[in-house]
Amino acid sequence: MRPPWWQPYYGLPTTLQVVLWALLVVAVLSMLTVVLHATAAARERRRRPRGPVPDEADFLWVLVVPALDEEVTIADSVARLRAVRATHKVVLVVDDGSTDATPQILAGLAGPDLTVLRRDLPNARNGKAAGLDDAWRYVGEHVLASGAHAGFPRDRVVVGVVDADGRLGLDAPAAVAEHLGDPAVGGVQLLVRIYNRSTYLTWAQDVEFSVFGHVFQLGRSWFGTANLGGNGQFNRLSALDSVVVTRDLPLGVDRGPWRDRLTEDQDLGVRLLQAGWQGRQTTRAAVEQQGVPRLGRLYRQRTRWAQGGWQALSLLRGVRRTPGGAVARLDAAVYLLTPLVQLALGLGLVLAVVLVVYRVPLYTRYWPVVVFFVALSFGPGLLGLLARGSGLRGVLGAVLGVLPYTLYSWLVYPVVASGMVRQAVGRTSWAKTARESIRPVPSGATPSGVTPPTRPGPAGAGDGPPGPA
């Protein structure tokens, strides 16, 4: 007697069937969240601004660059920040005790439009959060205390964080300002792209960031729960003030908004939401950064990020304070539960491979079951790739890219397990990811895949359609 087609695990031990069905439910729910975010992202692109749209000239833009041994990229980054179009702008580089040529390079770049905040041992080299907290303090005690920007209202001061390998879009302030007309918005995240996307690994990282921005982040932006990345985050100074803490801080810091976390950007973004602020994502401007071209380095980087995700689970108890209603709170909870979901999906993949290797007979020959499992495996990647592109070129790119991108995405499964183990045993020390030598490009170049910002007309507009894949 043949079993029903809808029993793919028929014949396996009962306990294993229960486990596999539970993992299947997680996979289906994960697929549904992709559809939900893609739908919300489409709505966000059509969002109409409420009230007057502010101009970038209404704000003071403080562009902060954390720099630790960045001799390879710092000159390129500073040159680009100097070219960014902002009426009121401060470029603040935090030299976190660099021992390479970074201090000498910065000295050679000296000018009235560049401020270098030098940190020395023992306070230096204690993590990115420490440097950002020092920058926050410096803005309040120096930038706003005297000089051309004295007395600027703190809710009109926007602190942007750009990594030392970052290439900020020239019109980023204008794109961010469009969202800050809503006083409830505390932070805006730019689209992140990879500029050295000439190899398989770096291409896949570019696709990954693009899908994350165009689908998940833009979808969360509709709910007001878009989070912050370590590169290209822009926060109101008043929002940062609202999450200042005196505990769990890096060594040498007595108070500040950034806590001592492996993913201090994620931690800050979630706490801003739980303090009552909304988070937005823009795809009208981007920050480009270096991709990691070597698998070993990429594995270490992503393990650190995964461990930061496990650390962030402690923020679950504050989800009820997230503004925006039940859907926004549910989305915020799902976001924090990402490591558990990824662990479950990874376990399901491992079990599937084991069953195939040991030739365990499964009744998956029936076409509805086969189609279903293929859709679960490749559907999320295909939806994400379709969302980041447009027109026939976008569709072709998605079809051709879904297999190699899906294979790359499976890298997350071992790193999330490694991150969990490291967190469980209390290992939190990490080496800095090395930079690759760069070939500077003209400072006026526009990051690829980005729609230049324009002021909305009477019909209004939210984030424009994504650029080409």
Q: Give me the pLDDT at residue 446, please.
A: 44
Domain ranges of the chain: 49-295
Q: Is residue 458's pLDDT more than 50?
A: no
| 390-399, 416-425, 432-441: segment of lowest average pLDDT | 432-441
For residues 25 and 53, is the Cβ–Cβ distance under 8 A? Answer: no
Q: Give me the pLDDT at residue 452, please.
A: 39
Position 3: which residue type?
A: P
CB atoms within 10 A of CB 102: 24
- Report pLDDT digits (tens) over 190-199: 999 999 999 9
Nearest to 222 by CA among 414, 456, 48: 48
- Residue 347's Cβ-count burial label (10 Å; 0-12, 13-18, 19+) is middle
Q: Give me the pLDDT at residue 361, please.
A: 62
Q: Give me the pLDDT at residue 451, please.
A: 41
φ/ψ region of 238 (left if φ > 0, alpha if ψ in -120 to 50, else beta) reads alpha
- The dihedrals phi and psi of 337, each to the nearest 5 degrees, come to -85, 5
Q: Give me the pLDDT at residue 445, please.
A: 46
- Report pLDDT digits (tens) over 75-103: 999 999 999 999 999 999 999 999 999 99
Q: What is the pTM of this model?
A: 0.87
Q: Give me the pLDDT at residue 379, please.
A: 77
- Report pLDDT digits (tens) over 232-265: 999 999 999 999 999 889 888 989 999 999 999 9
The four Cα atoms 388, 393, 398, 400 give a dihedral, to 10 degrees, of -150
- Report pLDDT digits (tens) over 295-350: 999 999 999 999 999 999 999 999 999 999 999 999 999 999 999 999 998 998 88
374 or 329: which leads in pLDDT: 329
Give the pair of three-digit tokens for residue 193: 């792209």
In this structure, which topology does domain 49-295 adopt according to CATH?
Spore Coat Polysaccharide Biosynthesis Protein SpsA; Chain A (3.90.550)
Q: Is residue 450's pLDDT more than 60?
A: no
Distance CA 234, CA 228 (A): 8
For residues 303 and 258, is the Cβ–Cβ distance under 8 A? Answer: no
- Report pLDDT digits (tens) over 383-398: 778 877 667 777 888 8
Q: Is residue 455's pLDDT more than 60?
A: no
Distance CA 138, CA 117 (A): 8
Q: Is residue 220's pLDDT more than 90?
A: yes
Q: Is residue 110's pLDDT more than 50?
A: yes
Strand 233-236 relative to strand 157-161: parallel, antiparallel, unpaired? antiparallel
Q: Is residue 149's pLDDT more than 90?
A: yes
State mean pLDDT over 447-466. 37
